[in-house]
């Protein structure tokens, strides 16, 4: 199982692949599952600004496309432009969807150190159908 430091490093490397000519704000994410598998993604922007995709949803979409069905236990998010690069509201809802009842850890970088939060703390009272 990858450590927090390792998934943050993978998120950092993923941020180097970001396509962000409009915001110039690269983001990388690495999603770690209960299976031990992990998937990474970067943000992908578009000249039609609203169509941009966040790094977290790119990583989670990749996991789904690869057939991942286990719980999302951790997701690291990194931007070279900002410490504590928290997931946006839409990505928090996506993380909650694939947590499947687990209190997923959000792994961020602050001053070169790992700082962790829980999805249930940063998205309380979230919408759930199931
Ligand atoms: N972004 C992410 O990739 N993840 C987030 O959770 C917040 C924002 C991206 C979207 C856009 O390409 C850039 O950061 C600036 O908002």
pLDDT in tens, the chain (130 residues): 999 999 999 999 999 999 999 999 999 999 999 999 999 999 999 999 999 999 999 999 999 999 999 999 999 999 999 999 999 999 999 999 999 999 999 999 999 999 999 999 999 999 988 7
Q: Hey, whose CA ends up nearest to atom 2 of ligand 1?
A: 54
Q: Tell me, what's the pLDDT at 63?
A: 98
**Distance from C-alpha of 80 to C-alpha of 63, rounded to nearest angstrom:** 24
Ligand 1 binding pocket includes 55 (Cβ within 6 Å): yes
Report yes or no on 39 lying in a domain.
Answer: yes
Q: Taken in order 30, 31, 36, 37, is the CA torsion positive or negative?
A: negative
Q: What is the CA radius of gyration of the chain?
A: 14
pTM, entire model: 0.97
Tell me if residue 70 falls in helix, strand or coil: coil
Q: Is 112 within the bounds of a domain?
A: yes
> Ligand 1 center to residue 79 CA distance, Å?
9
Q: Is 63's C-beta closer than 6 angstroms to any atom of ligand 1?
A: no
- Is residue 129 in a domain? no
Per-residue pLDDT at 6? 98
The domain containing residue 101 runs over which residues?
4-122
* Residue 127 in domain: no
Quick check: is 111 in a domain?
yes
**Total domain count, the chain:** 1
CATH number of the domain to which 102 belongs: 3.40.140.10
Confirm or reject: Cβ of 91 under 6 Å from ligand 1: yes
pLDDT of residue 21: 98
Among residues 5, 34, 45, 56, the one annotated as catalytic is 56
Q: How far is the CA of 39 from the centre of ligand 1 (A)?
A: 18
Tell me, what's the pLDDT at 128? 86
The predicted structure's pLDDT at residue 69: 98
Per the domain annotation, does 58 fall within a domain? Answer: yes
Paired tokens of 37: 């598998």
Is 5 among the residues known to form the active site?
A: no
The answer as to whether 62 is a domain residue is yes
CB 99 within 8 A of CB 75: no
Does residue 54 fall inside a structural domain? yes
Predicted confidence at residue 92, as pLDDT, reads 98
């Amino acid at each position: 199982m990858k450590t927090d430091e390792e998934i943050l490093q993978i998120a950092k490397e993923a941020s180097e692949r970001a396509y962000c000519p409009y915001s110039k704000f690269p983001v990388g994410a690495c999603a770690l599952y209960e299976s031990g598998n992990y998937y990474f993604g970067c943000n992908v922007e578009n000249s039609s600004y609203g169509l941009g995709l966040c790094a977290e949803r790119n990583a989670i979409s990749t996991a789904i496309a690869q057939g991942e069905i286990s719980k999302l236990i951790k997701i690291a998010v990194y931007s070279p432009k900002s410490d504590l690069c928290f997931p946006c509201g839409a990505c928090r809802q996506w993380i909650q969807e694939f947590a499947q009842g687990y209190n997923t850890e959000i792994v961020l970088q602050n001053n070169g150190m790992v700082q962790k939060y829980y999805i249930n703390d940063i998205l309380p009272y979230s919408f759930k159908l199931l």
